[in-house]
Structure 1
Amino acid sequence: MPAAIGNRSRGVARSANGPMPSIRATSSAPAGLPLLCHPSTRRRIERFSAEKVNTMGRSRRRKKLPAEPVEANIESMSHDGKGVVHIEGKATFLVGGLPGERVRFLYTQQRRKYDEGRVVEVLQASPERVEPRCAQFGICGGCSLQHQAPAAQIQTKQQALLDALEHLGKVEPETVLEPLLNETPWGYRRKARLGVRDVPKKGKVLIGFRERGSSFIADIEQCHILHPRVGQLLPQLSQLIEGLSVKRQVPQIEMAMGDETLVLIFRILESLNEADRQALAQFGAEHQIEIYIQEGGLDTIQPLSGIPADLNYRLPDFDLSLDFLPIDFTQVNTGINRQMVSRVVEMLDPGANERVLDLFCGLGNFTLPLARRAGEVVGVEGDAGLVTRGRANAKRNGIDNVDYFTANLYEPLEQEPWLLQRFDKALLDPPRSGAQEVLEHLPKLGVERIVYVSCYPGTWRGMRASSAISMAIGWFPRGSWICSPTPPMWSRSHSSKRDDRWD
């Protein structure tokens, strides 16, 4: 029997990027003898493709897309998990394909510099193709690589990282370390925001990730990437909200999980009545979940019981336990985080007499482990709340060689007191927007070694290093996200002038 990919459930769900067809593939099927998707599915896909409008951020005339499928060989995979083909020299990024496969696809978007499409038939399958575990794979936007074998996923991400470093960051590493792998490729995710919507036509409340490229909530009964305490609880959560008086006023549930404690934050647009509160409290007690309510901004988030949850996670290699609040940024994958922290400390290799600067330090995920090895660590973070919890975590773990500062690292930093100090080494773990503004200060501080943790290699533009070590990290098995710690070795004569040629 051929191996089915894509949507294997009841029909095709609606999506802003077009319905996801049922795709079937077989590595034994000869080229030119495709296995077709259902006729009704094909009609919907063709109708959608013909009517797709390219807005490009402003109003444009309706542009008719080619209605007939196009046949092509997938050459490689992009950093976001899409197959790459070239049609008449123009790059096209395809959802649902793997390198080496011959496919048929339909255009979903045509742009000036590149196009986008969706695979509808696999004529010749890659040996890396596997059966997706989730029936909604290809529709739900939570995963992008379930159709690829786990080992191949890591290789794909590693190559995507190296390609991105070359083309976006203009960096060529001298050494590439082995990727960090997750021992548990399923049920790893401990932080997530789930959409909620009451859909009368379906007769239920949908809870889950949004469909790919759409505002619709994917109709899933179980999520295999969420921690099982939530991923297997979606039907019960749906029934809970169905029974609330404000069921149409609950747009989101956010999960935050420590090593033991699970918190669910219910975003509520109208006040709960007493029956609603009792139902939520009973649900929390039955499933050992701490229920929080958010009726406005972040400052309105409160535990339903009035007693804050005890949230923390451990870093066993450093004998540390870090407390955090449900709204705090923490890594979604506990196992990988432990490995990465250990690897980063190893790469930075702080000495007992050395001073380390930790920029974008958060609540101390790297700061405190570094303090176990270094003489002194200074952490700088823009969120004052995280700085407060970082100091509390240092005290709780008996660490007294850490100092924290609150500073917006995207604003001019001439008067910051920590800029008047000298440091031997530095760690940067910025958000996707990068750290260009603060990076230019580091050579002036005497920094000779930097470890830069990035989820977007484009942020490395303008960096000049004599050596670099890169590795992809499997934060998101089944997803296309990549994270990479890289230590450039700066010389004292390193120029701090920004190079904008690739911006």
Structure 2
Amino acid sequence: MVTLYKAKAKAGLTGATVTLDIDSTDYEVNGLSRYQQKIAFVSGALKGEKVRALVLEDKPGFLKARTIKVLAPAAERQQPFCPHFSQCGGCQLQYLSNNQQSQLKQQGTDQLIRHQTGLASLPWQPMISGPDRHYRRKARLGVWYDKKTRQLSVGFRAEGSKTISAITECSMLSPLLTPALTLLPPVIKALPEPAVITHLELFSAGERPYVVVRHVKTLTAAQQQLFSQSWPQAYFLGDAGNNLLQPWQADTPVPAYTLAEQNIQLQFQPGDFIQVNEQINQQLVTQALAWLNVNADDTVLDLYAGIGNFSLALARYAKTVQGIEGVAKMVQQAATNAELNGLSNASFAQADLHLPWPAAPWLKQRYTKVVLDPARAGAQGAIEQVATLKAAQILYVSCNAATFARDAKVLLGHGYQLQKLAGVDMFPHTSHLELMALFSMPAKN
């Protein structure tokens, strides 16, 4: 029997170009418009503009589109400073000044949170911000080799596409990492099979730049050495059949960064989560300590603790800190970091916080304060259990305003009050705004 398959027809307007008048922007600074009774979310468009846009998705209640030509620009629109901006998807908002980007992101976030929670106003504090160039100490570059044309592309994906946009410079990368854009592509192209390399994961620790070379076929020692000659701190991931992460040299220095204000050093392994923006991370930790006013009587629970970024700084001042993390190897790294920093009052355990919490010893402790720093999916499943702890204060660090609003509504429903809220400009020139929020349980009379 032969089964014939027909390609799915594109839904409605998908692939069409439309002319739109932009009425406002949302929390990710997408332009908002209406077309044929549907709301349209339009990337690259500003309030008051008229644009031609390519429809990327046509759903029952909305359209997603991308600006392809600005017919009537807003006064605040400016020329992007990066020559790769029109192709590279790494940045989205270079057509605005950094201050205007922050203002629009916070305005949209304010509307989103108030709409979701029912709060009439939000207790905004000053924005946590830093330099808007050369702030990334970590980046993942895609690698694509076209066997027909023998063209190699190393860079970030284009907006809304799987295509790798080749770049030769990036104003967002740390100066320690930018040489990779010119030094490593020739090494890849010199391999017998350049297509075996799929990604380059760059990161810096202190004054050292590292690279993780991801590959789908085994690289010989000689081929690995080609990379290490251009980039001494090199790791290799993805050897056929075992997926081992290994340094080129056994004496490769262990990566580590410092929280200078708290005199904390944190070692980590390639693949461990660390905040991309080192300067903003330091400000986050310092502000968390200030908002919580941690003292020697406090017992603190740090959820999604990672390698101890918040836990160990908290332990400098608290009676005890219990960190919980879902990834077992990061739990071990956090424990190692506590030992390296001489902090015997910080302990760590592994648990999937989105599932019903286990009857573990750490859950029997009474906590005065809770810190949580979940991934973009937020703390769904965990936030209900956090609320039942009845800690006096909860500090929530969020990288997604939509999931934060959902979780904040749960805490408010359990009697917590939103005491402070700050935007965190972790990724200038992108649509992302992170948040730090302090919730407090009113004292009983």
> Does TM, normalized by the shorter one, top 0.5?
yes
Q: Distance in 1 between matches of 2:192 and 2:15?
A: 46
Matched, 1:470 2:421: yes
Report Cα offsets for 1:480-503 as digits up to 9, x if no partner. Answer: 11210111212478xxxxxxxxxx
* Alignment equivalent of 2:111, drawn from 150, 156, 163: 163
Q: Distance in 1 between matches of 2:65 and 2:365?
A: 53
Q: Map of 1:12-91 to 2, 5 A cutoff?
A: 60-63=8-11, 65=13, 70-91=18-39
Q: Which residue of 1 aligns with 2:432?
A: 481
Q: Contact 1:359–1:379 (CA<8 Å) still a contact in 2?
A: yes
* Alignment equivalent of 1:96, drawn from 44, 48, 51: 44
Q: Which residue of 2 aligns with 1:408?
A: 352
| TM-aligned CA deviation for residue 274 of structure 1 | 4.2
Q: Which residue of 2 aligns with 1:144?
A: 92
Q: Which residue of 1 aligns with 2:199?
A: 252
| TM-aligned CA deviation for residue 404 of structure 1 | 1.5
| Aligned-residue RMSD, C-alpha | 2.4
SS in 1 for 2:172: coil
SS in 2 for 1:451: strand
Report Cα offsets for 1:127-151 as digits up to 9, x if no partner. Answer: 3222112222132221111111111
Q: Distance in 1 between matches of 2:377 and 2:118?
A: 17
| TM-aligned CA deviation for residue 438 of structure 1 | 2.8
Q: Which residue of 2 aligns with 1:116?
A: 64
Q: Contact 2:112–2:402 (CA<8 Å) still a contact in 1?
A: yes
| TM-aligned CA deviation for residue 328 of structure 1 | 0.5
Q: Distance in 2 between matches of 1:451 and 1:296?
A: 43
| TM-aligned CA deviation for residue 89 of structure 1 | 4.2
Runs of 4+ that moved beyond 6 A:
none
Matched, 1:344 2:295: no
Matched, 1:195 2:142: yes
Q: Contact 1:158–1:471 (CA<8 Å) still a contact in 2?
A: no
In structure 2, relative to structure 1, the CA distance for the partners of 1:64 and 1:489 (3 Å cut) is closer
Matched, 1:314 2:314: no
Q: Which moved more, 1:238-247 or 1:61-70?
A: 61-70
Q: Contact 2:384–2:410 (CA<8 Å) still a contact in 1?
A: no
| TM-aligned CA deviation for residue 402 of structure 1 | 1.2
Q: Distance in 2 between matches of 1:391 and 1:237?
A: 35
Q: Map of 1:441-480 to 2, 5 A cutoff?
A: 441-459=385-403, 460=407, 461-464=409-412, 465-480=416-431
Residue type matched to 1:472 in 2? G
Q: Contact 1:261–1:290 (CA<8 Å) still a contact in 2?
A: no
Matched, 1:361 2:305: yes
* Alignment equivalent of 1:384, drawn from 282, 304, 328: 328
Q: Which residue of 2 aligns with 1:422?
A: 366
Q: If the length of structure 2 is used for normalisation, what is the TM-score?
A: 0.90
In structure 2, relative to structure 1, the CA distance for the partners of 1:470 and 1:244 (3 Å cut) is same
Q: Distance in 1 between matches of 2:14 and 2:240?
A: 46
Q: Distance in 1 between matches of 2:254 and 2:244?
A: 19
Q: Contact 2:326–2:351 (CA<8 Å) still a contact in 1?
A: yes
| TM-aligned CA deviation for residue 317 of structure 1 | 1.2
Q: Distance in 1 between matches of 2:321 and 2:47?
A: 45
Q: Contact 1:179–1:473 (CA<8 Å) still a contact in 2?
A: yes
| TM-aligned CA deviation for residue 265 of structure 1 | 0.8
Q: Contact 2:401–2:433 (CA<8 Å) still a contact in 1?
A: no
Q: Figure out how many residues of one structure are paired with residues of the other and give that number.
A: 432
| TM-aligned CA deviation for residue 439 of structure 1 | 2.6
Q: Which residue of 2 aligns with 1:281?
A: 228
SS in 1 for 2:418: coil
Residue type matched to 1:387 in 2? V
5+ residue gaps, structure 1: 1-57, 494-503
In structure 2, relative to structure 1, the CA distance for the partners of 1:322 and 1:172 (3 Å cut) is farther
Q: Map of 1:206-225 to 2, 5 A cutoff?
A: 206-225=153-172
Q: Contact 1:290–1:309 (CA<8 Å) still a contact in 2?
A: no
5+ residue gaps, structure 2: 1-5
SS in 2 for 1:392: helix
Q: If the length of structure 1 is used for normalisation, what is the TM-score?
A: 0.80
Q: Distance in 1 between matches of 2:120 and 2:337?
A: 38
Q: Which residue of 1 aligns with 2:186?
A: 239
| TM-aligned CA deviation for residue 337 of structure 1 | 0.5
| TM-aligned CA deviation for residue 117 of structure 1 | 2.1
| TM-aligned CA deviation for residue 332 of structure 1 | 0.4
Q: Contact 2:396–2:438 (CA<8 Å) still a contact in 1?
A: yes
Q: Which moved more, 1:124-133 or 1:318-327?
A: 124-133
Q: Distance in 2 between matches of 1:66 and 1:319?
A: 54
Q: Which moved more, 1:229-238 or 1:60-69?
A: 60-69
* Alignment equivalent of 2:239, drawn from 274, 295, 314: 295
| TM-aligned CA deviation for residue 212 of structure 1 | 1.3
Q: Which residue of 2 aligns with 1:490?
A: 441
Identity of aligned residues (%): 31
Residue type matched to 2:356 in 1? P
Q: Distance in 1 between matches of 2:147 and 2:133?
A: 31
